[in-house]
Amino acid sequence: MGKQVSRKVQHVEDKVKDLLISVQSGQAISKEDINSLKARKLIVAQTWKGYSVRKGPNYAPKRKKVATDLTRENLQKGDWKELEFKEYNFNAKGPPAESGHLHPLLKVKQQLKNIFLQLGFEEMPTNNFVESSFWNFDALFQPQQHPARDSHDTFFLEAPSTTRELPEDYVELVKRVHESGGYGSRGVKYMYDWKREEANKNLLRTHTTAVSTRMLYALAKQPFSPKRYFSIDRVFRNESVDRTHLAEFHHIEGLVCDRGLTLGDLIGVLNDFFSCFGMSKLRFKPAYNPYTEPSMEIFSYHEGLKKWVEIGNSGMFRPEMLLPMGFPEDVRVIAWGLSLERPTMILYGIDNIRDLFGHKVLIHSANVVFLAAW
């Protein structure tokens, strides 16, 4: 007689099955039940997103075409009155510009700006191409009969032909130093009657040294504090155009104003500046500028070109320029200048300055000649 199996319970409660049925019928079940069913992979969570769609205020059976443009036809047919125009999206981005490069001049300009800023120089405001002869020449102790001041070299303005206002007291001092010298210069060589109307003439500035003059005059009005200024901007000269000269170029100027500065300080600053630009070996040749004494042309040996290249001009501003401004006796200003076009032509291997302007520039802007050449 074998083992006997007898029914112990009347009814087997299959909790799991019941749970699954309630889930199926959407009844809520406890979290832990859900987790245990999930754990046994008997159920999977599904997220249902439902949307209720109803007619909006602008509902229309047919989409009303909004005009995106006011065309000539609209105007001619006059149907623009009925048309509804699409809101203007002022923030719409234009199609991304596929090509385009920074102009080589702008790249080198930025490089030079960074060098000046690193050396603690402050940029001078150069946003005035039109200048008066007074700030461009007279305040620089440049005599009124100097050849650079006639229309062969300078673009004078027809309208407005004369400047509206000049600082009268300062003009008087400049007039005197031109006419009878003073401040240590015998002034003999200038003995001429200085004409206000000549100083009033408006012109296109021939150098950004005109900006330096304004800034130094403003500086002399304040209690003295040493300053380092620089400027890089367009200047205009009525010169015959050739491979390296156009009627306008970018003048780069740096100046240091402090007590007791010497020519040695100038040579030091020039070495600091040009070595940042990869030009280490410098040579200096005495030169002449009406507004600096002594003055020096700056040369550097170019390995690539295997020759000494003139890379700029420099000097110490004359006391006849600084003292009428009101600077203390022992304040000196050393300064130098160069062009932007020349270095850019050499760095980009551009032989003719005309290629720096106009369509050809695109070809050059793609390729860069490394500074290593120096």
Q: Is the peptide bond before 160 cis (omega within 30 degrees of 0)?
A: yes
User: Minimum Å distance from CB 264 to ligand FB9?
Assistant: 17
| One of 133, 136, 154, 314 touching ligand FB9 (CB under 6 A) | 314
- Residue whose CB is less far from ligand FB9, 229 or 336: 336
| One of 140, 213, 313, 353 touching ligand FB9 (CB under 6 A) | 313
Task: Write the DSSP string, 11-54.
Answer: ----HHHHHHHHHHTT----HHHHHHHHHTTS------------
Q: Which residue is nearest to ligand FB9 (CB)?
A: 337
Please state, in angstroms and rounded to a whole number, the distance separating the CA atoms of residues 180 and 193.
9
- Residue whose CB is less far from ligand FB9, 310 or 355: 310
The contacts of residue 110 (CB under 8 Å, 6+ apart) are: 102
- Residue whose CB is less far from ligand FB9, 200 or 289: 289
Answer yes or no whether residue 319 interacts with ligand FB9 by CB under 6 A.
Answer: no
Answer yes or no whether residue 320 interacts with ligand FB9 by CB under 6 A.
Answer: no
Answer yes or no whether residue 144 interacts with ligand FB9 by CB under 6 A.
Answer: no
Answer yes or no whether residue 335 interacts with ligand FB9 by CB under 6 A.
Answer: yes
Please state, in angstroms and rounded to a whole number, the distance separating the CA atoms of residues 359 and 1.
113
Answer yes or no whether residue 318 interacts with ligand FB9 by CB under 6 A.
Answer: no
Please report the beta strands in the chain, taking only residues with DSSP state E, as ranges in sequence order.
Answer: 122-123, 130-132, 202-204, 227-236, 248-259, 282-289, 292-302, 307-317, 331-339
- Residue whose CB is less far from ligand FB9, 199 or 335: 335
Contact region for ligand FB9 (CB under 6 A) — 20-28, 130-138, 224-232, 332-340?
332-340
Place of tokens 């004494």: 293
Query: Facing residues of 339 across strands?
Result: 251
The contacts of residue 11 (CB under 8 Å, 6+ apart) are: none
From the list 261, 264, 269, 257, the residue with the least C-alpha distance to 116 is 269
Task: Write the DSSP string, 314-327.
Answer: EEEE-HHHHGGGT-
User: Minimum Å distance from CB 122 to ligand FB9?
Assistant: 16
Site for ligand FB9 in 216-275 (CB under 6 A): 251, 253
Answer yes or no whether residue 343 interacts with ligand FB9 by CB under 6 A.
Answer: yes
Answer yes or no whether residue 347 interacts with ligand FB9 by CB under 6 A.
Answer: yes
Please state, in angstroms and rounded to a whole number, the distance separating the CA atoms of residues 141 and 290.
7
| One of 149, 332, 342, 364 touching ligand FB9 (CB under 6 A) | 342
Binding residues for ligand FB9, rule: CB under 6 A, are 209, 251, 253, 289, 292, 309-315, 335-339, 342-343, 346-347
